[in-house]
Amino acid sequence: MEPKTCSNCKHFRLHYIKYSRGNYSALRYGHCVKPRLKKREAQNKACQYWQDKKDDF
């Protein structure tokens, strides 16, 4: 089982950078949308609102 981190939470939105040739690269941070917008690093320990991304599929 994977540890509970922001990167595997369904409320976490990872940020990307777009290069001039149209390629995208993931960054190490993003934001959380529950219960309000918060800046987070992908490997942060999960908060009490954590829900597994895989539960939606």
How remote is the C-alpha of 49 from its chain's centroid?
A: 13
pTM, two decimal places: 0.81
Classify burial at 8, counting beta carbons within 10 Å of its beta carbon; exposed 0-12, middle 13-18, buried 19 or more.
middle
Q: Beta strand 38-41 with 12-18: parallel, antiparallel or unpaired?
A: unpaired
Mind listing the pLDDT tens digit for each residue in 11-23?
999 999 999 999 9
**C-beta neighbour count of 20 within 10 angstroms:** 5
The pLDDT mean for the chain works out to 91
Rg (CA), the chain: 12
Distance CA 37, CA 50 (A): 14
